[in-house]
């Protein structure tokens, strides 16, 4: 970074010196290329010494998120850089000419300071822009060369687990623990065998699609029931029915979904579920 900026600054200074000398010759003044090179090189030497200030300022701006914060950092860096550049350049010229037996008069005035500040502002914008681009390139190169982290081992998804998602909340549930699921407006309520209830934003249709593989089926327009937890079915003369779960709780169903439960007596208990009795179906006369 330093070498690139130094090369550009030196090239610019040399071109400015020869251009200034040529302009002076055209006006009838002395060509005096040596003096003009000294002015340019003394200025460039101070600029290169102050380069770390601009590097720190650019890096601080890159880490800042707000536009106002970046603008404030840039303004402070510009004012500080210009003040130090003008001071350092003047004293370097005074020292060099004093050692050579001469003198240097900066002709200090507001107009002179504004003249130098204007040039400093252009230099700071160009140098800071170059630093910004070089920093971006360095970060991209570092990211490309950095060894990629090994992918995190994914936990095998268990067919016997589901996740209830509500916004940023995640609740892990064992499907066999679900007794029934009921709609509640824009939410659905999961009732578990231990009495726990989870209210999750969603639709009953979406829950039915996800839970059908666990024998949790619709038994009412607003209810799903876990048929694997049913220990008895009470069929009503009206066609409606009442499910009795293995923990003693009950849930009513409508006749529209009666075919889902009439075959419960012939169901075989799923593997891994400790049960000795098949669901008992009671028909009321």
Cβ(212)–Cβ(218) under 8 Å? no
pLDDT (tens digit, 9 = 90+) per residue, 106-140? 888 889 889 889 988 988 888 888 888 888 888 78
pLDDT (tens digit, 9 = 90+) per residue, 67-80? 888 899 989 999 99
Q: Which of 200, 196, 207 is nearest to 168 (CA)?
A: 200
pLDDT (tens digit, 9 = 90+) per residue, 79-114? 999 999 899 989 998 998 899 888 888 888 889 889
| Distant-in-sequence contacts of 202-206, Cβ < 8 A, 24+ apart | 202/166
Q: How confident is the model at residue 270 (pLDDT cuts 50, 70, 90)?
A: very low
pLDDT (tens digit, 9 = 90+) per residue, 209-238? 888 888 889 999 999 999 989 888 888 888
**Token match 């252009």: residue?**
122
pLDDT exceeds 90 at position 260: no
pLDDT (tens digit, 9 = 90+) per residue, 143-173? 666 565 555 454 444 557 788 876 667 888 8
CA distance 199 to 187: 6
CA distance 131 to 119: 18
pLDDT (tens digit, 9 = 90+) per residue, 179-189? 999 988 788 89
Q: How confident is the model at residue 281 (pLDDT cuts 50, 70, 90)?
A: low
């Amino acid at each position: 970074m330093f070498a690139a900026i130094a090369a550009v600054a030196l090239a610019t200074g040399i071109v400015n010196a020869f251009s200034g000398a040529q302009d002076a010759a055209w006006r009838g003044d002395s060509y005096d290329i040596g003096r003009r090179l000294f002015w340019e090189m003394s200025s460039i030497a101070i600029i290169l010494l102050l380069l770390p200030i601009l590097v720190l300022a650019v890096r601080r701006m890159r880490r800042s998120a707000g536009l106002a914060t970046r603008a404030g950092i840039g303004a402070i860096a510009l004012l500080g850089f210009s003040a130090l550049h003008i001071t350092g350049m003047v004293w370097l010229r005074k020292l060099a000419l004093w050692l050579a037996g001469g003198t240097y008069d900066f002709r200090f005035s507001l107009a002179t300071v504004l003249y130098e500040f204007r040039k400093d502002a252009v230099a700071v914008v160009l140098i800071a822009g170059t630093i910004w681009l070089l920093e971006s390139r360095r970060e991209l190169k570092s990211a490309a060369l950095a060894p990629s982290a090994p992918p995190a081992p994914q936990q095998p998804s268990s067919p016997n687990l589901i996740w209830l998602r509500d916004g940023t909340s995640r609740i892990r549930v064992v499907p066999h623990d679900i007794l029934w699921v009921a709609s509640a407006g824009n939410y659905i309520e999961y009732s578990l065998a231990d009495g726990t209830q989870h209210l999750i934003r969603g639709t009953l249709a979406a829950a039915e699609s996800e839970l059908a593989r666990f024998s949790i089926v619709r038994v009412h327009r607003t209810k799903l029931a876990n048929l694997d937890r049913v220990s008895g079915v009470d069929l009503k003369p009206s066609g409606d029915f009442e499910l009795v779960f293995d923990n003693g709780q009950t849930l009513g169903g409508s006749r529209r979904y009666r075919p889902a439960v009439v075959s419960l007596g012939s169901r075989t208990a799923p593997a891994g579920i400790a049960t000795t009795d098949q669901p008992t179906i009671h028909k009321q006369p």
